[in-house]
Chain A
Amino acid sequence: MSENPTHVGLSEALKQGKAEEAEALARQALDEGSDPLELIQTVVVPTLTEIGRRFQEFEIFLPELMLAGEAAKRATAPIEAAIAESGKGSASLGTVVIGTVANDVHDIGKNIVGTLLSAHGFKVVDLGRDISPSGFLDAAEQHEADVVAMSSLMTTTRPAQQSTIKLFEETGKRGSYKIIVGGGSTNEQWAEKIGADGYAPDAASAAELCRKLLKGE
């Protein structure tokens, strides 16, 4: 972690979920000449990874994670704008379209995964809950997703993950995206059975899984 006082302040503001302060410090760091890409890679991502670890270890709870996620959104907006302006490419590790499958209204687990994926540097498009197979397909195409992530809590809604993958196959789009599954009713065997590219038992593993899949590991 950088010892630059503004960078340290930004990291602290993110940890404490202070959105306005985090945005102001991000702008200040850019004004002071910090490289935007480096700011993301050396300050924002490591800080949010640490917050994610603390959440995973039950040292902090969902409210703190949500506040940190909100602060991160505010802080990264000006940094991403600066990256785009500089033409240096994107700070994002990739785009993940995420949602809870058709007929399933349980979305807190999916929300946590979305927050942690953002924290790890992915661009997350959260479709919400009760998403039809075509809803996932349309969103994947529209947002040029790298990963499609489907959550299902109930054993009775789990088959919708299979139907969604089937639709991607039938439309010839399966090869364009990595598709991962998670949620209380799923496991490794189920993921294999339906032809998913991966399964994650919790939010931290989901971030790691996406990273590995996009690196081709």
Chain B
Amino acid sequence: MLGNWLGEIVKRSDSGPYMKEAEFEMALSKRTGELVKAHGLKFNGQEPVPSDDEMADRLYEAGLELFVDLGVYNQTTERCIRFSRDEAERVVAAAPEAVTLGVGKDAVVMRHRGVESEVPCVVHSGPTGTPCSERYHPLILQSCARERLVDCLGAGSVSTYMGQAITPGTPLEILASRRDAGVAREAVRMAGRPGMHINDVAVPLTCAGKMAAIDLGSGLRPSDALLVSQMVEMKTDFDQLSRVAHLQNVGMHVADLMTPLIGGLGGGAEGTAVVTVASHILGAVLYSASYHFMSHTHLRWVNNTDRMGLWMQAMVGQALGRNTPMVTVNDIYTVSGPGTDELLWECAAGAVVGAVCGMNQQGAGATGGYETDHTTGLEARFIAEVAHAALGLTRGEANGIVLELLSHYEDTFDEPKRGMSFPEVYDEETVEPKEAWLDIYHQVRQAVIGLGLDLDGGWKKVRYE
């Protein structure tokens, strides 16, 4: 197995079987359905955190079979890139099980965690999938970077450059990419954490735009990462693969981003779980990723804190935790927004499942990305506190807690409480949460402590013991 086999991937992209994209999608749906049946995978809404090792292993096997049977669709060449089972298994086995993110005193080691692990979660934050205005973007990033329990920062996305709409592929995209990288760098510097890992600059949509974010002085560095995306489901193109080529050569982390849709091509929770396991294998084999972001969302509500989303997170986390060395991160997407207690309940559910089922944490993608500037650092603090408090829970214990957490928000999905924007819940001068938002945080925090999670002691144990 070659260390860098992009040449081989390009070759297979040109020589693999030709297929129209719609045919690939149909074949993927069909094969996924067959694998769900063949491996006896069954979603149970009453058990969002299953304790079934055998089902987790069967899920992994189904995902591996899907990857080998279908391959990956290259949209540029309209051909399938195929790999043998042996190739896939070898690459997965050699995937990094720990990566150092950031540099100097601010560096953290993010590890493969495993099921019911005592290994602490690394917590990523930033405006995940939530668009920001030029005006509030710097403050939102500062609010996240200054949270002591947040380990890494994502720069998020702003859709204008000095008031002008950014069109991909134009000079404005390059300028905006460099500006956002600089804003993120400044945010971590102002927080007194200049070496903190920055996991992406999301505004650029082209390879050139992404690469423009790299700047040793005022932008992203090799100790940071940029996302390389998969298109739903199991698709890539040469633009994405070109990002891998550059990042590998400058020694920078590749963060694999997948966005599986529950209710989409994979079908329900079980099928989407199979596709998501296969997508992780894709990220290892094609992108040589340092780590993987699992950003699955419900097709209608654009969250993953519903029962199907949590079950999928739990099962995929366990399948990968038991069968691979991969370093995985769960993106928490919520329907609710800042200033609502529902946002914190949703974050808590995602954090408990991730912590117990082998994943690291990222969040929150508040309002499913519908509302501009509806994201703050406070929910990231809460995710970290809950994740650290959940260490050592069994899956059975986590299941009970998650069922209770669900009861506080799941009836709002059809009429979500989008909450308030950043300036309504944060002081713009001090970049601190306003009293009303803090009150809600303290209320929910106390209630979660009442469920048996030690939010006061959990993080101290992680940090000091």
Contacts and interface: CB of A to CB of B under 8 A. Distances in A.
Given A155-B131, A157-B168, A160-B167, A61 B203 contact: no
Given A63-B33, A202-B300, A103 B205 contact: yes
Contacts of A156: 157, 159, 165-168, 173, 203, 205
Interface in B144-172: 157, 159, 165-169
Main SS class of interface, B: loop
Contact of B169 (A56, A63, A103, A154): A103
A61 B264 contact: yes
Contact of B26 (A66, A154, A162): A66
Contacts of B392: none
A108 B30 contact: no
Interface in A139-193: 154-160, 162, 184-185
B369 interface: yes
Question: In the complex, which of the residues B32, B165, B166, B271 has the most CB atoms of chain A within 10 Å of its own CB atom?
Answer: B165
B169 A184 contact: no
B210 to A, nearest CB: 13
B57 to A, nearest CB: 25
Q: What is the interface of chain A mostly: helix, strand, loop, or mixed?
A: loop
B378 interface: no
Interface in B200-254: 203, 205-206, 231-232, 237
Instruction: Say which size band chain A's interface belongs to.
Output: 20 to 34
B183 interface: no
Contact of A108 (B75, B165, B232, B369): B232
B267 interface: yes
B29 interface: yes
A58 B309 CA distance: 13
A165 B271 CA distance: 39
28 contacts: A56-B300, A58-B263, A58-B299, A61-B264, A61-B267, A61-B268, A61-B271, A61-B299, A62-B29, A62-B261, A62-B263, A63-B32, A66-B26, A103-B167, A103-B206, A106-B231, A108-B265, A155-B131, A155-B159, A156-B165, A156-B168, A156-B173, A156-B203, A157-B168, A159-B167, A184-B369, A185-B131, A185-B159
Interface of A: 56, 58, 61-64, 66, 70, 103-106, 108, 154-160, 162, 184-185, 202
